[in-house]
Amino acid sequence: MFSLYSAPRAPRAELSRYSHVLFSTLAAALFAASTLTVQAQTRLPLVTVIASREPLPIDRVTSDVVVIDEQRIRDSTADSMEDLLRREAGVQLSRSGGPGHAAGILLRGTSSSSTLVLVDGVRVGSATLAQVAFESMALAQVERIEVLRGPGSSLYGADAVGGVVMITTKSGEGPASLTGHAAFGEYGSRKGDIGIGGAHSGFDYAASISGERSHGVSTLRPGDRFGNYNPDRDGYNRRTAHARLGYMLAPGHRVAVSVIDMRLDSQYDASAFGGAPDYAQDPSPNFRTRLDTQVASIKYDGVINPLWTTRLQLALNEDKSVDGAQFPERFVTRRNQYTWQNVLTLAARQQVVALVERLEERAESSAFSSGKQRNNDSLGLGYAGQFGAHLLSADVRHDDNSVYGNSTTGRLGYGYELGHGLTARALVGTTFRAPSFNDLFYAGYGVAKIRPERGRSAEIGMNWRHGNSHASLTLYRNRIRQLINYEPDRGFCPADPSYDFGCARNVDRARLQGATLSAGHRIGAFGLRASVDLLNAKDERTNARLNRRAKHQETLDADYQLDAWTLGATLVTVGNRPDGGKHLGGYSTLDLQARWKFTPHWQLEAKVLNVTDRDIEPARDYRSPGRQAWLGVRYSGISL
């Protein structure tokens, strides 16, 4: 676990330099793209749901949104969900080892607890640890990922401080078809998945199972600061199953059921301690994390009339974790989520979204004296509209929690279409992060009077999209107060002797500011995508940089199609980062891949990750695998 500290105001000269460089780069990119003579193809506008909770063309939203479609997911060299996400501007990765080990994403410099994650519209993650276990999520079942960078609490409630990640699993359409994939790699790694999907007589369906495992490497390096290094390999085993079934009751009225089960068994390095008087340290036991997450929902979508559509969703999320060796700790979170959402179409390109939501959370743990629970009731109202070249969005939400009280958040956005595919936009919003069950109730640490963290965010940006070309630039600033952190001073903690070593407390403040730039273009068979992330994230009290945040990160993707062959390369560079008093140097990784479609339905795939065999320290004293080659085969498309 690590904390989000605060960030002070950057010197004017530094911000001016960032702005000048970024605007110059964007202007050059737009000029170069506009002078290309390749004729743009006619294509449907890209649609996003995450920006307003309802489908909107992406060129009509005022927020900073990324859409990753199924083709990009399949073509990526990413080794995991978190690795795929960190290739987008504004997203950095924190991971305690390689794939299959504790991972979180840092969206616009916020902590891993400050990003809300939805799977098929259902809030997921541990309410005790206050973060989502990305390491347990497989890519095989995913059809689409949307990322909202920036304030999202007024749309989705607690924890959407840095933004929101919306993951949609595969659905069925058309004739029944079968898909399959199998691959083998170094470090004893192998993965496979098989799925079926289709639609018939008003029904649509999709189901799949996948598995992945690796022997891995030792998660820690020799000589780590706490003496937990164990030279054995720390591997993982991940299994996922999912199913979706929908039925069209009548034109405009549909019900759907979705179920997904994610399981992870992962090894890591830690130590056990003997009894008094010497409390001898022993790093040799086999420490494991066992995660089991289920997400289930039933949903009804109905078109009442041309002006009114409605949605009802009942959902369940259960997150179980068992962590340790001889005496493991057990945490269980259960969520029941009830949502009623209505959309009113006032006129062409004018819509209002009204929301009523209830969230019931229960937690059990070996660290609590008894099970804990809390309920959250929410009302939300949002508007998105266009008046000529003017874009306007506004939303407000009120959350009433049975434990930590009321929170009201809002967001206001404006955009203006300058012409030739270029849009300028600005957005301001407020956010909050709820205290976790551990912050409130963990024995000898939690304090029931902890309040939610509060944030204020502002951003300006420009988007450009024309045919096969696109570019976007966003400058943002986010100030967060009442940050929940560890308080070592006994005088600020409850009188109970169990708090002699400190407690949770609202103590810190942060200011996060930076810029993101992304662009892409396709010229015939050649495609290119690039992103740049500049971040200034510091503790407002001490002026120290936040742990594990790089000042800059860049990604470059290139692919070339030649008949049945596709060749690709991905370069990721990450700047230096502080972590626990140590300076972690920057690094670059290069991934290469080749795909050969030797029949209409069969494809051979080969890739090499970390081609230069770079020794990477993703977090202090941790290590990632070196160079790794993979060889696989994929089957898809034959109707049954």
- CATH number at 266 reads 2.40.170.20
- β-strands 64-68, 142-149 pairing: antiparallel
Structure tokens at 109: 């410099």
Q: Which of 513, 511, 489, 483 is nearest to 501 (CA)?
A: 489
Could you give the 3-state DSSP secondary structure of residue 482? strand
Q: Is residue 520 part of a domain?
A: yes
Q: Is residue 426 part of a domain?
A: yes
Q: Is residue 286 part of a domain?
A: yes
Q: CA 275 from chain center: how many Å?
A: 41
Query: Per the structure, how many domains does the chain have?
Result: 1
**362, 320 Cβ separation under 8 angstroms:** no
In the DSSP assignment, the letter for residue 501 is: T
Q: Is residue 172 part of a domain?
A: yes
Please tell me the predicted confidence (pLDDT) of residue 45.
66
- The kind and range of the H/E element at 438 are helix 437-441
Residue given tokens 């000269």 in the structure block = 13
Q: Is residue 310 part of a domain?
A: yes
Please tell me the predicted confidence (pLDDT) of residue 342.
97
Q: What is the pLDDT of residues 455-492, one digit of tens each?
A: 999 999 999 998 889 999 999 999 999 988 888 888 88
Q: Is residue 418 part of a domain?
A: yes
Q: Which of 231, 220, 223 is nearest to 617 (CA)?
A: 220
Structure tokens at 577: 């980062």
Please tell me the predicted confidence (pLDDT) of residue 44.
55
Please tell me the predicted confidence (pLDDT) of residue 639.
63
Q: Which of 263, 262, 320, 265 is nearest to 295 (CA)?
A: 262
Q: Is residue 624 part of a domain?
A: yes
Residues of the chain with pLDDT under 50: 1-43
Q: Which of 142, 252, 143 is nearest to 202 (CA)?
A: 252
User: Cα(588)–Cα(590) distance, rounded to whole angstroms?
Assistant: 7
CA torsion 69-94-80-478 (nearest 10°) is -10
- What is the number of residues in the chain? 640
Could you give the 3-state DSSP secondary structure of residue 413? strand
List the Cα angle 172/174/180 in 5-degree steps.
60
How many H helices and E strands in the chain? 5, 35
0.85 exceeded by pTM: yes
Q: CA 147 from chain center: how many Å?
A: 7
Which residue intervals of 5-111 are DSSP H helices?
12-34, 70-75, 81-85
Q: Which of 354, 426, 417, 422 is nearest to 386 (CA)?
A: 417
User: Cα(197)–Cα(207) distance, rounded to whole angstroms?
Assistant: 6
Provide the residue range defining the domain that includes 488: 12-639
The residues facing 411 across adjacent strands are 395, 429
Whether the bond between 285 and the residue before it is cis, its omega within 30 degrees of 0, is: no
Q: Is residue 4 part of a domain?
A: no
> Would you call 180 exposed, middle or buried from its count of C-beta atoms within 10 A (0-12, 13-18, 19+)?
middle
